[in-house]
Structure 1
Amino acid sequence: MDPAVFSTRLAPPIFDGTSYQVWAVKMEAYLDGNDLWEDVDDLWEAVEHEYEVSPLPNNPTVAQMKLHKERRQRKSKAKASLFAAVTSTIFTRIMTMKTAHEIWNFLKGEYEGDERIKGMRMINLIREFEMQKMKESETIKDYSDRLLAIANKVRLLGTNFDDSE
């Protein structure tokens, strides 16, 4: 690996059990962009798709050995990245899981919440958005940023929240 690339490598976003949707977007981008500084392409693929790495056949070709090694590395690095991206408390809950796909699905199920919980969060955020008033000491940019932050939280929950609103 080029030392210049290594020195600019970003640390994964750390998940502490709050703001799951924000962390998930950041983590997906981190894993998807990981091929910029790793020998293994697209770690996100190992998280998103569960797949088995087939054992090598007798007398494998060089290409088969290379593909086998890359697929094993991709799965291992994706799992290690997820382990590195959570606090110690959350790590103890996922440390026995065997695949990055299993870890991701557990975190999603545990912290994203079911449709009813997401719906309640969305209703509360829309209510909060509608009740916003500009403070006298606030600039238009600050007020706009506050509204946009709420709108983006609604979007992260999977709701189409048009900019015109």
Structure 2
Amino acid sequence: MAGSEVRAPIFSGENYEFWRIKIVTIFKSFGLWKFVEKGIPVSAGKLKGKIEEAEGSSASEDDEQMMESYMKDAKALGIIQGAVTNQIFPRIVNAETVKEAWELLYKEFHGGDQVRSVKLQSLRRDFEYTRMKDDETLSNYLTRLNDLVNQMKTFRETLTNERMVQKVLISLTKAYEPVCLVIENTKDLTSVEFQEVIAILKSQEQRLDQQVIDSTKKAFSTLSVNSKIQNKGVP
């Protein structure tokens, strides 16, 4: 990682699962994840004492290894401290090791099985009732839908390709009904790839956009002609 800097995502109390996945990747990239997951060999207090003793005398090989472990643990703790807002920081202010800080956040925001079950049920309900809005572009709707799917994945909920295809086809606006009918009648919905369906829908979106542009040009052209006729009729 020399010569490069990884900016840790900031956790504000929301979307903990996304933050957790990102921060775990950062810890692993620095070789620090084992300190988060398993902690350091001895307590921070004892380790600090050994370091202070070692600083005043020639350190043994074991002492040097413990010093290195303590420094890496402190580095990992610093990453977590810098990756939370001032509102979240008081929760971990007294943690002396990264493992302790990690577990405090995990217990509060990850939640137990019952809490996770309630959250997942809420996401499932949102997924079922999500529909494309009349004034929404296809890309924006797909982004919104994908955000929901990704949140469900953090709870280990996996949606099949077929389920995603069906969801999109039944949740678009009326402008897409003709192309959706074509897809349903010409494609095997149990095997057609989700990305293939999206590509067809995006082509339809481009045609719809072009129709709007053509209609606008025609309206302006008609308005211009009418204006000229009226001007000619003025004495």
TM-score bin (small chain): 0.7 to 0.9
What do residues 52-73 of structure 1 show as CA deviations (whole Å, max 9, x unaligned)? 1576999734xx5553333222
Return closer, same or farther for 1:32/1:120 CA change in 2, 3 Å cut-off.
Answer: same
Residue 46, structure 1, aligned to residue 35, structure 2: yes
Q: What is the alpha-carbon distance in structure 2 between the residues aligned to residue 59 and residue 79 of structure 1?
A: 24
User: Looking at both structures, which has the greater relative contact order when contacts are Cα pairs under 8 Å and sequence separation is at least 6?
Assistant: 1
Return closer, same or farther for 1:65/1:164 CA change in 2, 3 Å cut-off.
Answer: farther
**Which structure's residues are more often helix, by fraction?**
2
Equivalenced residue count is 152
Instruction: Name the counterpart of 2:212.
Output: none
**Matches of residues 18-37 of structure 1 in structure 2 within 5 Å?**
18-33=14-29, 35=30
Larger Rg: 2
Instruction: Name the counterpart of 1:115.
Output: 113
Structure 2 counterpart of 1:26, which letter? K
**Matches of residues 1-165 of structure 1 in structure 2 within 5 Å?**
5=3, 8-33=4-29, 35=30, 42-53=31-42, 60-61=60-61, 64=62, 66-165=64-163
Structure 1 counterpart of 2:146, which letter? L
Alignment gaps of 5+ in structure 2:
164-235
What do residues 78-128 of structure 1 show as CA deviations (whole Å, max 9, x unaligned)? 111111111222212211112111111110110112211111111111111
Alignment gaps of 5+ in structure 1:
36-41
Q: What is the alpha-carbon distance in structure 1 between the residues aligned to residue 27 and residue 59 of structure 2?
A: 33
Could you tell me the percent identity over the aligned residues? 27
Return closer, same or farther for 1:110/1:59 CA change in 2, 3 Å cut-off.
Answer: closer
Return closer, same or farther for 1:50/1:164 CA change in 2, 3 Å cut-off.
Answer: farther
**SS across alignment from 1:88:** coil
